[in-house]
Amino acid sequence: MSDKLSAQALDQLFYEARTHNFWLDKPVSEETLQELYGLMRMGPTSANCSPARIIFVKSDEAKARLKPLLMEGNQEKTMAAPVCAIIGHDVEFYERIPELFPHNPDAKNWFNGSAEFAEQTAFRNGSLQGAYFIMAARALGLDCGPMSGFDNAGVDEAFFKGTTVKSNFLCNIGYGDAAKLDPRSPRLPFDDACTVL
């Protein structure tokens, strides 16, 4: 567990990985989606609360429901992607804590007394899991196109109605057309973003 990843692996996960907006006509199987989730779920969350809930929008019917809820600039690329994942979080995640955190099942009570604290925890940890989702997808050879630019309330109504799940962001996944990538945008250098105390 202590060995550094190879340069090739680091390139795949970070240095050469890009946000894709154009997609090859190559499907993503349900088995791959299951493997992706299997990797993603292993990342750490507070008290193993695991609030992320994902809907994989893959069928034409489901895409037709999603399309009018997207900003115009996100519609074409999302309809062309093999899969669009709606990354959400369950604001009542704590109901599963006795199952997920068995050495301290009473940890459920840390959250169910304050809806605000529970929602903050769900959003923070669901966002972490969304980042793990992107890295897991890249690890499996998939490309990603994460995005905001959609009607959260509309997506919640259309896809999470009757649940305690709220949408966070969307992530198109598939096999990107590298020939259509723009040059990579710059990143902040260490000294501009980090302080060592």
User: Are 77 and 172 in contact, with CB atoms under 8 Å apart?
Assistant: yes
- Model confidence pLDDT, tens digit, residues 103-114: 998 899 998 788
For residue 113, is it within any domain?
A: yes
- Model confidence pLDDT, tens digit, residues 60-76: 999 999 999 999 999 99
Q: What is the pLDDT of residue 151?
A: 98
Q: What is the pLDDT of residue 103?
A: 94
Q: What is the pLDDT of residue 150?
A: 98
For residue 197, is it within any domain?
A: no
Q: Of 147, 141, 166, which Cα lies nearest the Cα of 156?
A: 166
For residue 45, is it within any domain?
A: yes
CATH of residue 57: 3.40.109.10
What pTM value is reported for the model?
Answer: 0.96
Contacts of 5 (CB under 8 A, 6+ apart): 13
Segments forming the whole domain that contains residue 78 = 7-179
- Model confidence pLDDT, tens digit, residues 127-153: 999 999 999 999 999 999 999 999 999
For residue 94, is it within any domain?
A: yes
Q: What is the pLDDT of residue 113?
A: 81
CB atoms closer than 10 angstroms to residue 128: 17
User: Are 168 and 156 in contact, with CB atoms under 8 Å apart?
Assistant: no
For residue 153, is it within any domain?
A: yes
Query: If you average pLDDT over every residue of the chain, what do you get?
Result: 97
Buried b (16+ CB within 10 A) or exposed e, 97-125: beebbeeeeebbebbeeeeeebbebbeeb
Measure the CA–CA gap between 12 and 125, rounded to whole angstroms: 24
For residue 195, is it within any domain?
A: no
Maximal C-alpha separation, the chain: 53
For residue 166, is it within any domain?
A: yes
For residue 81, is it within any domain?
A: yes
